[in-house]
Amino acid sequence: MGMISSSIARKVAMALSGLFLVFFLAQHFTINFTSVIAPDTFNSWSHFMGTNGLVQGILQPILIFGVVFHFVMGFILELKNRSARTVKYAQFKGGANSSWASRNMIISGLVILAFLGLHFYDFWIPEIVHKYIETHPEDPTRYYAETVHKFESPVRVGIYVVSFVLLILHLWHGFSSAFQSVGFNNKYSKGLKIFTQVFAVAIPVGFIFIALYHHFNQLPH
């Protein structure tokens, strides 16, 4: 941690890990959206991702490190900002200075972290157990039915939908400010800001659609 002690370096590290997770979200949405439009493609892509050595052995550990790093750095930055703010409270004029989304990144971040806890319990841990602990004979067609059944419970779907709404708020500020933190500030910034805000709404709304679609299109047991 000594290496990234300066606040600028911390902000850049936070922004780069955020941009990495945004890239993950785009790929994760693309794969999961096929579960709505092309279940066979979803099965073959999930089987590839689930059994490919590069994905399982290198990319997934990097992803999990990226998620943990982003959250730990988020807490450190929040604590540092709070201690700085108490000193300069007089100058801080609440809403006038910033949007709710930017002032509450820690709240939307915590909700996403809680969602990931449930999500790992729902999908990732069963995958790890299936592949590396119980070692079932591989069935490349199992993923679609397993995913659809997860969305039978209205409570789980409700939690997912609320989490995805907070994901909109987190991305709305986080995605565009990440580019500012890495110093990307030029004539393309205006267009880029519009792209980041369209992404911030479209991807979580897409995830909400996937969850609701599977909830209302349950497979017969």
Tell me: does residue 67 bind ligand HEM (CB under 6 A): yes
Tell me: does residue 34 bind ligand HEM (CB under 6 A): no
**Start-to-end Cα distance in the chain:** 51
Structural contact between residues 162 and 190, judged by C-beta atoms closer than 8 angstroms: no
Tell me: does residue 124 bind ligand HEM (CB under 6 A): yes
Q: Single out the segment in contact with ligand HEM by CB under 6 A; choices: 59-67, 75-83, 91-99, 192-200.
A: 59-67
* CB of 9 or CB of 129, closer to ligand HEM: 129
For the bound state, the minimum distance from the C-beta of residue 123 to ligand HEM, rounded and expressed in Å, comes to 4
Give the torsion sign (CA, 167, 170, 176, 179). negative
Q: Two tokens at 95?
A: 């809403």
Closest of 132, 5, 22 to residue 77, by C-alpha: 5
Tell me: does residue 33 bind ligand HEM (CB under 6 A): no
Out of 10, 103, 119, 193, point to the residue binding ligand HEM (CB under 6 A). 119
Tell me: does residue 19 bind ligand HEM (CB under 6 A): no
Tell me: does residue 207 bind ligand HEM (CB under 6 A): yes
Q: Two tokens at 101?
A: 């989304």
Residues 6+ apart with CB under 8 A from 99: 173
Closest of 8, 19, 5 to residue 175, by C-alpha: 19
Tell me: does residue 47 bind ligand HEM (CB under 6 A): no
Residues near ligand HEM (CB under 6 A) are: 25, 28, 32, 49-50, 60, 63, 67, 112, 119, 123-124, 127, 147, 167, 207, 210-211
